Structure 1
Amino acid sequence: MKVAQLGSGTPEIAVVAGVHGDEPCGVRAVERLLDDRPTVKRPVKLIVANEEALERRVRFVDEDLNRAFPGDPDAKTHEGQLADELVSELAGCLTFSMHSTQSHAEPFAIVNGVSETAKALVPQLPVAAMVETSNFAEGRLFSAIDTIEVECGLQGSETAAENADRLTRAFLTAVDALPGDTIHSDLPVYRLTDVINKGQASTYEVFVDNFTQVEAGAPFAAADGDKQVADEPFYPVLMSSNGYRDVFGYAAEKLEVLETPPAAD
């Protein structure tokens, strides 16, 4: 784990990259901040988490770090011990954690709950949606630390790296660590309701777009040509043919749209 800091004092804000070793976009954003060394209005902790997995270019060494929190100093896995170290390092910090995906090119945010902090900050980020995932939060960083996660774009793409830099700077501006203004946008909010499993097969297909409602009776995916049909309407999230080993993705419901506050006269 690599830890650095912008500014002096005790940070209450942190940026985390490299939780997964096959998602380098956030690492690029942290490296650019360290190269640029912008003047900050409040100190910021910068962390590249799973350096060993990044070096090997694999998602994890022993187990998924983002399912290993809060961790254990005596864990038998690399990630179990690393999770414990990361929780200690992030204690007292509002944390911004960057990821990438194989399912959706446009950035979106993931939160453990639609808190007042999430409502205040996430609409200031250049994201298409906010996804509340408290039903499936076990073992994730935000189950142990106050965290806003972002999916920056397609895994391994240059666009995801560019988005990560843009998202990080928007977050740091929103929390008053960097000077400047942010742009508020209307933001749809979704809640994950179910896992969409997939059986063992040679080929997988997905017929729907993430965040676009699937109607009851519509086919949405197939394994070896065997189609799965929606029993009831849902919004697909993180749906892809091969992004996860055992699941296509998640079903979600749409909660609300956080509207842009009216401009002051």
Structure 2
Amino acid sequence: MFDQDVAPDVVEFGPGDANLAVVCNIHGDEPTGARAIHRLLKQLPEFERAVKFIVANPPASISHRRFLDVDMNRVFPGDPESDDREQRLAAQLVTETAGCDTISLHTTHATHEPVAFVSEGHPRSLELVSQLPIAYVINETPVIDSSFSSTGQIVSIEVGKVEHPNSIAKAEMLIRAFLTNEGALSGKPPMHAPVTKYFDIYDEVEKPSGDRYELLARNFERVEAGEAYAKSRNGYLLAEEPFVPVLMSQSGYDGIFGYRGRKVGESVEDAKEAWLDEEK
């Protein structure tokens, strides 16, 4: 099989051994993170600590496809001996970011505002995300298996909508905030979201096949039992129980609108109590 020697693209800037990483293009059809990194590096910043910048899935990025063999963000920690390119790339990315405080940049169809995902059981990830200007933080562990965030101190960020020009600026701002917080760049302390809200997701919201839907629910605004959250020419879809919509969109996923969530609090202490205590 060709591309047996495929590997993530890694460049490193700054003095010392790198224990910070900025990752983009786990999905090859999401170029926003790479463009934001390019904009940052084009300004020739002076790094005070070593940082790795990593294009995770070069072959899919060149092809502008989400993936070539399997969805890379559902196969971590990967398999270096697999015939699937994304399995091999996932294994290499885990090795490359081992011990690194890491942010991973994505885009979405659901919202213009940045949204962060972390995995419960990684307190360092919560500390990292609590210092970033992000209004919504989601624990993905109950629903999403084998994501990159599950492998360590990693914050995965949906920086904005796919291919939207403002998403690049938001991604660059978040990279700067992360690197400033961690002492890799000098400058003013980054701004913060007025209030950061923390959520669990606990189920998928299925999208019945064979029809086109208009989404009525708004992300992160509670849907009550009996309330319509989507409609089609054949009628309305009604909530059987209350839930908070998370990353719901009309076209972002095949087979689902997004996720059912519940709010756990408005502080990192609330999130730690809800998520980390469950691991005991």
Q: TM-score, normalised by structure 1?
A: 0.92
Deviation, structure 1 residue 145:
2.9
Which residue matches 2:250? 241
Which residue matches 1:98? 105
Is the Cα–Cα contact under 8 Å of residues 78 and 87 in structure 2 kept in the other structure? yes
Which residue matches 1:229? 238
Q: What is the SS of the residue equivalent to 2:217?
A: coil
Distance (whole Å) between structure 2 residues aligned to residue 242 and residue 88 of structure 1? 34
Q: What is the SS of the residue equivalent to 1:177?
A: coil
Which of 32, 38, 45 in structure 1 is aligned with 2:45?
38
Which residue matches 1:184? 192
Distance 1:81 1:120, change over 3 A: closer
Distance (whole Å) between structure 2 residues aligned to residue 156 and residue 104 of structure 1? 12
Q: What is the SS of the residue equivalent to 1:31?
A: helix
Distance (whole Å) between structure 2 residues aligned to residue 235 and residue 19 of structure 1? 27
Q: TM-score, normalised by structure 2?
A: 0.88
Deviations 1:97-155 (A, max 9, x none): 00000011111111112754344332332222111111124210012232001111000
Is the Cα–Cα contact under 8 Å of residues 24 and 161 in structure 1 kept in the other structure? no
Deviation, structure 1 residue 223:
5.4
**Counterpart amino acid of residue 254 in structure 2:** R
Distance 1:113 1:224, change over 3 A: farther
Instruction: Give structure 1 stretches of 5+ with no counterpart.
Output: 260-265
Deviation, structure 1 residue 85:
1.1
Deviations 1:62-82 (A, max 9, x none): 111101111111112111111
Is the Cα–Cα contact under 8 Å of residues 17 and 49 in structure 1 kept in the other structure? yes
Which residue matches 1:24? 31
More off after superposition, 117-126 vs 76-85: 117-126
Distance (whole Å) between structure 2 residues aligned to residue 155 and residue 224 of structure 1? 27
Distance 1:146 1:121, change over 3 A: closer
Instruction: Give structure 2 stretches of 5+ with no counterpart.
Output: 1-7, 269-280
Deviation, structure 1 residue 93:
0.8
**Identity of aligned pairs, percent?**
39
**Counterpart amino acid of residue 183 in structure 1:** M
Distance (whole Å) between structure 2 residues aligned to residue 239 and residue 225 of structure 1? 20
| Correspondence list, 1:120-131, <5 A | 120-131=127-138
Deviation, structure 1 residue 183:
2.6
- Number of equivalenced pairs: 260
Which residue matches 2:148? 141
**Counterpart amino acid of residue 190 in structure 2:** T
